[in-house]
Structure 1
Amino acid sequence: MLFKSSEIVEFAVAIERNGEAFYKSLLGKVKSGQAHHVLQYLAAAEQQHIKDFQSLRDRLGDYQAPQQYDGEYEAYLTFLIESNVFGKAPEVEKLVAQIQTDQDAIDLAIRFEKESILFFNELLRLVSESDKEPVKELIRQEQEHILKLVELRKIIENA
């Protein structure tokens, strides 16, 4: 399976859509007002990321990353796509249904952000130099989300 860069970005859009739905579904699971506030912020951020990735997708051509042997990069991306639970809405629903505490919700949100960063770092190999900065900014924002979630986890643990 050969991937065009625009197809990879489309998968990133799907991750962000599922991320937005994920954060909105977590709102009904958390009890803390602070957790509720942070999750609303993150849902809105994912909505903006969808727009940003759609804009990036519209600018991309059919660039393919260099590889050491035929199929190397495609195999790696296939693994990332298949193993990214947040690329599959039914899997997200199952995980959300298992949440018992605010801590569970925060831990799952951190996992989402980490998996997103891993995938988005791979996008950097698929975009032109002029498109690298927007992707780096999205990665930076995802890292900021992790920091917000870690801070929230500390607050809830100490409450």
Structure 2
Amino acid sequence: MKLTADMVLQIAMELERRGRIFYESLAIGCGNGRISALAAALAKAELDHLETFTRMWERLPESMRGPNLTDEELMTAADRVRRMVLPRPSVVSETVIASNLAKALDMAIVMEADSVAFYAEAAAGLDGIDADVIAAIVAEEREHLVMLQEVRNLCAAVFPE
């Protein structure tokens, strides 16, 4: 199935919702103040992305907005993303148990990098507004990835392992 800007934006908005829930859960359940603060900031960034992607969707020409994806379509996309983007539960558990800020940052970096790869793959073969919208999503995710990498580098300099 060829994805459109409308479909990818709907998927992106759902992913940001799930990412926010993931980071909020990590913030609440990790028991480490630094990781909790980082996870809370990442949850806020996911909310910011959700708002950005919602505005992008609202700016699509009416003719390019199809019906909302069904729950089944969103679940299928979410399952694919879960396999491609979200960390395995064992990785999350290991990070939380170790209370290791660097590992938490590394986990977030991998999630963002995998997210960029997911959207780049979705853009393959698209053109026009569809390609432009997905390129904007990729740019937004890359910006978040670079920010996380900079924080990770700063963390390594301040708290050498």
Deviates more, 1:145-154 or 1:103-112: 145-154
Aligned residues: 141
Query: Over the residues paired in the alignment, what is the CA RMSD in angstroms?
Result: 3.8
Partner of 2:12: 12
1:9-88 matched pairs, under 5 angstroms = 9-27=9-27, 28-33=29-34, 35-58=35-58, 59=60, 61=64, 82-85=79-82
Q: Which runs of 5+ in 1 are unaligned?
A: 63-78
CA contact (8 A) 1:30 1:36 kept: yes
Describe the superposition over 1:113-147 as per-residue Cα deviations: whole angstroms up to 9, x where unpaired.
11112123346555627646743541332223431
Partner of 1:106: 105
CA–CA distance in 2 between the matches of 1:15 and 1:25?
15
CA contact (8 A) 1:30 1:101 kept: no
TM-superposed CA distance for 1:30, in Å, is 4.8
CA contact (8 A) 2:84 2:118 kept: no
**Amino acid in the other structure paired with 2:108:** A
CA–CA distance in 2 between the matches of 1:118 and 1:157?
30
CA contact (8 A) 1:11 1:87 kept: no
Please point out which of 129, 149, 152 is paired with 1:150: 152
Could you say if the C-alpha distance between residues 116 and 156 of structure 1 is closer, same or farther in structure 2, counting changes exceeding 3 Å? farther
**Amino acid in the other structure paired with 1:100:** I
Secondary structure of 2:117 counterpart: helix
Q: Which runs of 5+ in 2 are unaligned?
A: 66-75
Could you say if the C-alpha distance between residues 123 and 138 of structure 1 is closer, same or farther in structure 2, counting changes exceeding 3 Å? farther
CA–CA distance in 1 between the matches of 2:33 and 2:43?
16
Partner of 2:118: 119
TM-superposed CA distance for 1:48, in Å, is 0.8
Describe the superposition over 1:89-118 as per-residue Cα deviations: whole angstroms up to 9, x where unpaired.
xx7794545542233433322221111121
**Amino acid in the other structure paired with 1:147:** Q
TM-superposed CA distance for 1:10, in Å, is 1.0
CA contact (8 A) 2:20 2:43 kept: yes
Secondary structure of 1:143 counterpart: helix
CA–CA distance in 1 between the matches of 2:147 and 2:78?
21
Secondary structure of 2:97 counterpart: coil
CA–CA distance in 1 between the matches of 2:57 and 2:97?
37
CA contact (8 A) 1:20 1:46 kept: yes
Report the TM-score when normalising by structure 1: 0.64
Deviates more, 1:100-109 or 1:43-52: 100-109
